[in-house]
Amino acid sequence: QKEVEQDPGPLSVPEGAIVSLNCTYSNSAFQYFMWYRQYSRKGPELLMYTYSSGNKEDGRFTAQVDKSSKYISLFIRDSQPSDSATYLCAMRTGNQFYFGTGTSLTVIP
């Protein structure tokens, strides 16, 4: 079983839609939970992080962590064509980072 599971998509939504991206994990030792956004031919950039169960909001983005279910989500409200990218979830314990495979998102104008 992989440490982190993420549906690769691809996901295609119309502009303005609410997008839900999800990851599950198996290691209860994970302490930090992150979402990275990767545009084509670019390196991943940190979008959001959380370190506890609950929700964290930043503009149109909301990160949600449910440690009891070992499940994290990223919600994007009012999605824009500029949100078209691959989104990777990542988790950390100590100095070890574990990444999902990424979900490819396309927002259609």
Q: Which residues bind other proteins (CB under 8 A)?
A: 2, 4, 6, 8, 32, 34, 36, 41-46, 49, 51, 88, 90, 92, 95, 97-102
Smallest distance, Å, CB 101 to other proteins? 5
Smallest distance, Å, CB 77 to other proteins? 24
CB atoms within 10 A of CB 34: 21
Distance CA 16, CA 77 (A): 7
CA 11 to chain centre: 13
Which residue lies nearer to other proteins by CB, 37 or 76?
37
Which residue lies nearer to other proteins by CB, 4 or 19?
4
Q: Which of 44, 26, 43 is closest to 34 using CA atoms?
A: 44
Which pairing describes strands 54-58 and 103-108: parallel, antiparallel, or unpaired? Answer: unpaired
Smallest distance, Å, CB 28 to other proteins? 17
